[in-house]
Structure 1
């Protein structure tokens, strides 16, 4: 079974802006609390991802490539608005950080994620991360689709 162990942080400042990013558009076919089913187009590639319920920083994750035309058709079937973001990848202290800069109704939100091999793995935080939001469900992409950042203020 595939597992994802990931910590998530808010981003402060622009010190992470070292590389071009990749546009990602994604939507949810299911946003149930027990499982989410997501379709994502990242550049010229597309994926279908199933994620289980989060416990701490861990959850089951299964991701499969799908034809781009299929992903475009699946996005039209998604429940709720789509997520539009640019993902930047930054190497820091031996780990790859993925920084998501959101647009549309989530404009202004910038979040950094790092995948780990265990929940207790020690990490060196980059200077541009601030508050940890790993367990704050408001920051789950599946929730941002229906309760966008713009509505929080």
Structure 2
């Protein structure tokens, strides 16, 4: 069973704005289910689309399955079945051989900046990028 193990951090907006960043990818996503025991998400990332199913979070781990779906289907689901979608721009920052994903939210959540790092185990050690990563944030299970 595939597992997602991740840590999320708030990002210091002032320091983030001073960084030279790579090109970000526009994401639009919404949830078909937000039950704490299972979430079902539809996401458009650039010109690709995915359906993701996530199980209940235990510690910082949860089961996760992700499948590519036709872009037209994702657009229809987001437009017709999901009343509110989330928009953000995702940046991938390389630091000490790791891929940090930083989401700069747009729309209703504009101003929110969250960094996440996927791990191989809950005990895995890692270094924080200097400056822009803020405190560890226990994010909701969505």
TM-score, normalization by structure 2? 0.92
- 1:132 corresponds to: 136
Alpha-carbon distance in structure 1 between the residues aligned to 2:27 and 2:79: 15
- Size of the alignment, in residue pairs? 138
Alpha-carbon distance in structure 1 between the residues aligned to 2:109 and 2:21: 22
Q: Deviations over 1:59-106 (max 9, x none)?
A: 000000000011111112444410000000011011100000001110
Alpha-carbon distance in structure 2 between the residues aligned to 1:16 and 1:97: 14
Cα offset for 1:16?
4.9
Matching residue within 42, 51, 54 for 2:54: 51
TM-score, normalization by structure 1? 0.85
Q: Deviations over 1:29-58 (max 9, x none)?
A: 011010000000001000000001111110
What's the secondary structure of 2:84's corresponding residue? Answer: coil
Structure 2: which 5+ residue stretches go unaligned? Answer: none
Contact 1:27 1:78 in 2 (8 A): no
Q: Which has the higher strand share?
A: 2
Within 5 Å, give how 1:1-153 maps onto structure 2: 1-12=1-12, 13-14=15-16, 16-127=19-130, 128-133=132-137, 135-137=138-140, 142=142
Alpha-carbon distance in structure 2 between the residues aligned to 1:47 and 1:7: 22
Structure 1: which 5+ residue stretches go unaligned? Answer: 143-153
